[in-house]
Structure 1
């Protein structure tokens, strides 16, 4: 499992990788960019979003839903247009949307965060149809993940600055049960960033400032660490043939001139062979 740079993008804050429609989609939050990369051909496209964009995910309507700073937007890659869909936090102009996932029932789960990374104003939401609901989880400074099991019965929610990933039961109606601590990242190992589950039910977590990615089993025990040549690894996605290649976004954010000189590949898109497959991305029902 040796990561290799497969796309030189030098992202300030690469995030949100997802395999959809035979390509890898990801964003550069701070540069307001959406990227599409086809590993089979090397084709690379990019679009400019109207503001900071945390992720894009495929919709059953054929377009994509984007998590822009001001709220959910519909994104049409053919025309490059972004149309506002829902603003969950108009009363919190200092917040932005950060990370998201769709469960097997087509429900979109997404989180917000304080853009200054100080105030505990980040919340997790569930969007289905025309309805957006607060999940009821306690607010934190930076929400991350979420990752949802294939049966949609368990949600993994990350408090990045608290260095904790919580395991939360999901009821049939989408309401959440009592969170249980799943993983705590020890001091000196970086901060838990985006997470995703593999086909064996194990959780892969990017470590911002931690030089790698970790894999944890269903009990929260550490199984594997993949070391990267860059400090800020934000999230992985499974893609390619059989969903057996792991693609990882990284970031230059927070690195000074000396660190950037030592990490010339910081911000690039990486790939490695994880030895396990992922599961297919579900389109948002909305």
Structure 2
């Protein structure tokens, strides 16, 4: 089953889908369209908020509201009414970069990547925002960092450089540093490029295929176990949603393609359950 969500629009660069149990809703962003969107699972209503600059993602805060990744850095974000409060710019001297993708872990930390607007060169890096609001560069360089997908006990993550078509596996050490990048999966050209990712409750890795219109499920050894085709080529990310975490919502991008469903939000039947959404602890 694949469903195009009515009213989900045509995002230039849809990304960062997030399941909110407290709002019974799926949030996602249009990075280049500078917009945050919300799908209510109660009635399929779609609501949106315009942002002042490109926005890579939103992550819920335990105390309410969100942390967001704007081009200018990490911010606190409230939507009703709209309010933005800066936290820190991890790259104040790199005006050509922006935030791209991020996840929170079970320790309440956010792991977030930056990348060049041009999608060329290795000016990007990977950062950790701790609940005390300190920001640390933990890895780099990257061209197009995507994911990450983080284990439930926060001791391991998968992270991608889409420009290299490579998914890495990295340990999260007790001192909060990252272990060395180990190559986990390399996409052949006919698969497109790996984009956003998430882990399911069985420990399998779901990956969005940018350029070839699908999401795939990989087992612990990195072997592709399942693939679901979608009616748009530029698939960017996915999240499990719903009270049972058995629904999957998938984002896409319309940038540079002339396709009827490009940039829409999709729902697919994953045939499995996901993991609970983690929140920022600060």
TM-score (norm 1): 0.95
Q: Return the alpha-carbon distance in structure 2 between the equivalents of residues 219 and 107 of structure 1.
A: 27
Cα distance in 2 for partners of 1:28, 1:99 equals 12
DSSP-derived class of the 2:81 partner:
coil
Residues 179-258 of structure 1 correspond to what in structure 2 (within 5 A)?
A: 179-255=181-257
Counterpart in the other structure of 2:136: 133
Greater CA deviation, 35-44 or 99-108?
Answer: 35-44
**CA shift at 1:39, angstroms?**
2.2
- Tell me the distance in 1 between the aligned counterparts of 2:279 and 2:2: 28
Native 8 Å contact 1:196 1:236 kept in 2: yes
Instruction: Check conservation: 2:87, 2:133, Cα contact below 8 A.
Output: no
Q: Distance in 1 between matches of 2:111 and 2:208?
A: 19
1:281 to 271, 277, 282: 277
Q: Name structure 2 gaps, 5 residues minimum.
A: none
Question: Which of 164, 174, 177 is 1:172 aligned to?
Answer: 174
Give the alignment's Cα RMSD to 1 decimal.
1.0
Alpha-carbon distance in structure 2 between the residues aligned to 1:200 and 1:50: 39
Q: Aligned-pair distance for 1:174?
A: 1.2
- For residues 265 and 241 of structure 1, what CA distance do their matches in structure 2 show? 27
Measured in 1, the distance between the counterparts of 2:143 and 2:255 equals 18
**Matched residue SS, 2:124:** coil
Give the aligned partner of residue 19 of structure 1. Answer: 19
Deviations 1:31-82 (A, max 9, x none): 1000111122122211111200011010112110011011011111111121
- Per the TM alignment, residue 178 of structure 1 is displaced from its structure 2 partner at its CA by 1.8
Structure-1 separation of matches of 2:109 and 2:235: 27
The TM-score normalised by the length of structure 2 is 0.96
Give CA deviations for 1:114-160 in whole Å, capped at 9, x if unaligned. Answer: 1101120111111102211011x231111111110001011111010
Q: 1:13-162, aligned counterparts within 5 Å?
A: 13-20=13-20, 21=22, 22-128=24-130, 129-135=132-138, 137-162=139-164
Q: Distance in 1 between matches of 2:265 and 2:88?
A: 30
